[in-house]
Structure 1
Amino acid sequence: MKSPEEDLLTDLGRLYGSLKRNFDRSMVERGASLARTKMLILIQKEGGTVRAIDIAERFGIAPRTVTEALDGLEREGLILRTPDPSDRRAKRISITPEGEAAVAVTEPIRQALSKRILVSLGPEEQASFHATIRKLLRCIDED
């Protein structure tokens, strides 16, 4: 028999997986991509200071996977890679006006999906759930 802690972590994993699948499916149905949107938003927020390795670390994915995704974004004209002045082997990534336009189209879709899911929790429940998640993240970060 599982402990309450194991049940909680199992359900948390199921929640994450279900959310990701739901977002992916819903965005694809609308002609968008959650992975692409998340990557463009990160690049947009970092304002040209982010490198591929930073993206890989942030999303917990292999650097090669990030490179392939960035290659596609660059081919589509959504990002620009420029030499990193402090490391000649690295490239800094910035979003282009076309990338900004792509985010402007897809981000409202992602936000609407988020609201649709979170509406089942009242404002106090959302705040409590968020505080709990942040507490768990701090615990993990301390390890």
Structure 2
Amino acid sequence: MNGADEQLLTDLFRLITLIRRSFDRAMTGQGASLAQTKILMCIKAQNGSARAADIAEMMNLAPRTVTEALDGLEREGLILRVPDRDDRRVKRLAITPAGEAAVTVTEPLRIELGAKLLKPLTPSDRRQFHAALQKLLEGLADS
């Protein structure tokens, strides 16, 4: 790897870190972090039928990571774990009114922050950047 490639990777990692910090700071101040909002949106998309394993699969995360995140959401009163009607061993995830309120505030904020982040890029820049990201993602999927 040459110096330009090394700098590209350094800048990419720095960008990822800055995006996460920026989004988390703004969103946490409104009720839920970026990660929490993403999990709440996944639960909401499942209409009350989501299990921890479903969320782990949807988000491509380790089950333990999801369990720890769900524990935090439950402690903060944003979700409930409810016994499954057909299988008492299974717990379904439900968003509480506080969780719904957090999504109502943070999801539009996430969209606004994303638009602000991409604003310096022209439509052509965005297409090229997206194409490059797709190639990187495909390369990682093959690994």
TM-score normalised by structure 1 residue count: 0.74
Q: Which whole-Å CA distance do the structure 2 matches of 1:119 and 1:10 have between them?
A: 22
Structure 1 letter corresponding to 2:131: A
| Contact preservation (8 Å) 2:31, 2:102 | no
Mark the CA change 1:21 to 1:141 in structure 2 (over 3 Å): closer, same or farther. same
Residue matched to 1:13: 13
Structure 2 letter corresponding to 1:93: L
Residue matched to 2:25: 25
Mark the CA change 1:89 to 1:130 in structure 2 (over 3 Å): closer, same or farther. farther
Aligned pairs for 1:49-60 (under 5 A) are: 49-56=49-56, 58=59, 60=61
Please report how far the alpha carbon of residue 82 of structure 1 lies from its aligned counterpart in structure 2 after TM superposition: 4.0
Report the RMSD for the aligned CA atoms in angstroms: 3.0
Structure 1, residues 63-109: CA drift from partner, whole Å, max 9, x if none?
A: 44432331232344432334568987553334345423320111111
User: How many residues are matched?
Assistant: 142
Q: Could you tell me the percent identity over the aligned residues?
A: 56
Residue matched to 1:67: 67
Structure 1 letter corresponding to 2:110: R
Unaligned runs of 5+ in 2: none
Residue matched to 2:79: 79
Mark the CA change 1:136 to 1:46 in structure 2 (over 3 Å): closer, same or farther. farther
TM-score normalised by structure 2 residue count: 0.74
Structure 2 letter corresponding to 1:14: R
